[in-house]
Amino acid sequence: MPSSTLDRGSLDWGWRLAALWTGLLAGPVVWAALLETNYALSYVACEQRRTWMLHLSTAVAILLIALAALWLARAAPPLGDDGEPSIDPGETAVLRARFMVIGGLALCLWFTLVILATEIPVLVLHPCTP
């Protein structure tokens, strides 16, 4: 088993590893936080007959996802020649990082669309609509 003696190529890049995981998880976590925030704020919006705080929470959520996507894009490893498959731990770590960047940016884009879709009822319905 020659693969069991290989050094595992970890992404020991400091801030890059944090940026990769933050960009990958930012979309779902921010969307879930927005969902809970809007649920709590809907009672306040009903009492005040104003929805500005719901719109503000949506804008903050989109801003947070955009910042995470920007940080993720800055952490992307440089493009190189990926012609032949390799068992070199450094090269496979770079390939995994590229995969995380592509997946993270796709998730950020997807959850931005989901957040915009959750804004539609706030725009259309009155605050106290059952």
Model pLDDT for residues 63-116, shown as the tens digit of each residue: 999 999 999 999 888 766 655 666 665 667 788 888 899 999 999 999 999 999
pLDDT, tens digit, for every residue of 10-38? Answer: 445 678 888 899 999 999 999 999 999 99
Assign residue 49 a region (left: φ > 0; alpha: ψ between -120 and 50; beta: otherwise): left
Residue 9, pLDDT > 60, answer: no
Annotate the chain with DSSP letters as a single string: -GGGGSPP-----THHHHHHHHHHHHHHHHHHHHHHHHHHHHHHHHHHT--HHHHHHHHHHHHHHHHHHHHHHHTPPPP----S----HHHHHHHHHHHHHHHHHHHHHHHHHHHHHHHHHHHHS-TT--
